[in-house]
Amino acid sequence: MIVKKLSLAGFRNIKNASLGFSGGINILYGKNAQGKTNILESIYICATGRSHRTRFDSRLIDFNGHEAHIKVEIENMGRQNRIDVHLKKDEKNGVKGIAVNGIPIKKSGDLFGTLYCVIFSPEDLQLIKNSPGERRRFIDMELCQLKNVYYYDLGQYYKVLKQRNSLLKKIQKNYSFRDTVSVWDEQLAAYGMRVIENREKFIKKISRIAGEKHSKITGGAEKLEICYRPNCHAEELLTKTAQNLERDIIFGSTSAGPHKDDIIFTVNGSDVKVYGSQGQQRTAALSAKLAEIDIIKEETGTSPVLLLDDVLSELDSARQRFLFESINGVQSVVTCTGIEDIAKNYSGKGGVFFVENGNVTPAIKNKA
């Protein structure tokens, strides 16, 4: 699938822009703080309904404006689709309306499937060093795009978790509420079990594909494995939640469940977070990200759009080359500060845009 056209109005520092993309590698270049990441962010919002940088929709609207519009035109296996996002400022967090082919969607989950995106930014190269929360997000972001029911289960799980936690705090003040917890426990376990089972399957798959990528990058010297470390096994969730109740009341929060899960990366059997060099950690993260693209292809029969934010300057020449080889046939939108960063490995097929102070100008005419 490819994004053929992106139009923006009043979105962050971009007053008005219209970009026609090619199916190959599209480059956005310009100095720091000009609006390059803002453009990638707008595409990501069309795919997932939310920003990868903020939970606050109002921040997406021009400081001085009241509303913002994003429009993408997509081509997927000969079919044309359009996504329109309209953001409006209000006293709270802003109001968001999304329409697919002119029809407003009712639930954000209904958006998934029209546009698949994989975003890759310098923070992703830190995936292994980052907090468990970031690693859960990495898994969830992809699973949510691929599985509408996972998106629903995860959302419900966190909703019930919040309700259980607020009840725990109430019990601290009034113990008579204690008997009402079991209702939440059952729901928490039902949604939680499905989240755990899906994560388990997905991590097995990503481990296999990322392992192949990692082996290629390292010339067969390193065997990468990605292992799920669930906080609690699916079948034990209900019992554990009930067992921990007294403790949970004291702390006012739920101690067992997939909200505490983690994944670990091992190379040749040892934990990369603990023993790996910086280069190994980055290579493992790169392999995991590239595996995401393959999984989307496998599961949906179409390539996602790859958004590469500033990562090229962070990779050495060999890894850059591997990345470009791996994304052959995948539409990419790439940001960089200097075109020379990527000149060595760039075939020249695609659009090049110069971004300055929120203005976007085609620098080289689209070739493909």
Ligand X SMILES: Nc1ncnc2c1ncn2[C@@H]1O[C@H](COP(=O)(O)OP(=O)(O)OP(=O)(O)O)[C@@H](O)[C@H]1O
Least distance to ligand X from the beta carbon of 125, Å?
14
Binding of residue 35 to ligand X (CB under 6 A): yes
Question: What one-character-per-residue DSSP string does 195-230 give?
Answer: HHHHHHHHHHHHHHHHHHHHHHHTTT---EEEEEE-
Stretch 294-313: interaction string toward ligand X, x if CB under 6 A: ----------------x---
Residue 304 site contact among ligand X, Mg ion, none (CB < 5 to 8 Å, cut-off depends on kind): none
Among 337, 345, 359, 366, binds ligand X (CB under 6 A): 337
The number of beta carbons lying within 10 Å of the beta carbon of residue 334 is 27
Closest approach of Mg ion to the CB of residue 180, in Å: 48
Residue nearest to Mg ion (CB): 37
Q: Which two tokens stand for residue 104?
A: 């407003």
Does position 13 bind ligand X by CB under 6 A? Answer: yes
CB of 47 to ligand X, least distance (A): 18
Cα gap 70→359, rounded to integer Å: 15
Q: Confirm or reject binding of residue 63 to ligand X (CB under 6 A).
A: yes
Residues lying near Mg ion in the complex (CB under 5 A): 37
Q: How far is the CB of 335 from Mg ion (least distance, A)?
A: 6
Residue 59 binds which entry of Mg ion, ligand X, none, with Cβ cut-offs from 5 to 8 Å by kind?
A: ligand X
33 binds ligand X (CB under 6 A): yes
Alpha helices in 218-316 (DSSP H): 237-243, 245-251, 272-275, 278-300
Spell out the residues 6+ positions from residue 347 whose beta carbon is closer than 8 angstroms to its own.
24, 25, 324
Check residue 252 and report its DSSP letter: T
Nearer to ligand X (CB atom), residue 12 or residue 71: 12
Listed ranges 56-64, 126-134, 174-182, 261-269: which one lies at the site for ligand X (CB under 6 A): 56-64
Q: What is the DSSP string of 138-186?
A: HHHHHHHHH-HHHHHHHHHHHHHHHHHHHHHHHHHH-GGGGGGHHHHHH
> What's the rounded Cα separation, in Å, for the pair 335 and 81?
25
Residue 12 interaction partner, one of ligand X, Mg ion, none, beta carbon < 5-8 Å per kind? ligand X
The sheet with strand 25-29 has its strands ordered as 117-120, 305-309, 332-336, 25-29, 352-356, 359-364
**Which of 326, 160, 322, 313 shows the shortest CA–CA distance to 241?**
160
Distance in Å, CB of 344 to ligand X, minimum: 20
38 binds ligand X per the rule CB under 6 A: yes
Residues in contact with ligand X by the rule CB under 6 A:
12-13, 30, 32-38, 59, 61-63, 310, 335, 337
